[in-house]
Amino acid sequence: MITYRLSVDDLAHVRFACSPLLETVTSLWALRRPERHPVHLPWIRRTRAALAGAALDDIALLNSLLAPEHDWLPDFLTPRPGEPPHDIAGELDRLRRTPPERALADFRAVYGTHPLPRTTDPVVIAGVLERYWELAVAPHWRRMREVLEADLLHRAQQAAQDGTAAMLRDLDPRVSFSDGELRLYAGRALRYVVAVAGRGLRLVPTLFAPQTVAPVGPDEPPCVIYRCRGIGTL
């Protein structure tokens, strides 16, 4: 269970965003566990066929981004989205600027006792993700973005009509909010309590997460990644 403690000021600064880099990285979950993503099976089949012509080193690196045990992603791969516009080029540049020691620490955090991948270099990883984006996500991004933005509009209207607390509780059945604490279940192995303390809370819809997730590291900027509405319309 992850708990975010929010003050009145924190609640006033809850913001929404969507991220093409997040969709690119989390789509790897669907490729690894297609049984958990039946709605995405047509995309999975097309993407696997397209990846058959990709470089073997690229495929190996993409597979290594998901930790072996929990399928966790290193936090630096999914930085909290900033203010719009959110474009893949800007997010990849941000990824490339990740300090190598930070990337290595994030891989160690999610890999645990398992052997680390052959490379944890953010520049190399960004290059592979850029090629994967062009192959697997870019052809569908316009429609994906429309669904994500429709969710953002719905949440904004819900907050305006019913209040922020009601909107937060509606993100996922495993999300609760009371007494200034936002609690979400993100897997048995992930537990921490963090005060938002003026850092802002970002809510990010995604098309590929099987459930609501948050950063693995408690020191990361507060962020809740939740399953987007309307995925079936894709």
pLDDT tens across 67-97, in order?
A: 998 899 999 999 888 755 568 999 999 999 9
pLDDT tens across 129-160, in order?
A: 999 999 999 999 999 999 999 999 999 999 99
Residue 85: the pLDDT is 53
Q: Is the peptide bond before 122 cis (omega within 30 degrees of 0)?
A: no
Cα separation, 22 vs 202, in Å, equals: 13
Cβ 147 vs Cβ 228: under 8 Å: yes
Q: For residue 182, give the nearest of 199, 194, 197 by alpha carbon.
A: 194
Integer angstrom CA distances of residue 185 from 74, 102, 136, 174, 182: 18, 26, 29, 6, 10
Q: Which of 77-91, 97-111, 174-188 has the lowest mean pLDDT?
A: 77-91
Cα separation, 102 vs 145, in Å, equals: 30
Residue whose tokens read 């690196």: 61
Residue 102: the pLDDT is 97
Residue 207: the pLDDT is 97
Cα separation, 118 vs 60, in Å, equals: 9
Cβ 53 vs Cβ 132: under 8 Å: no
Residue 49: the pLDDT is 95
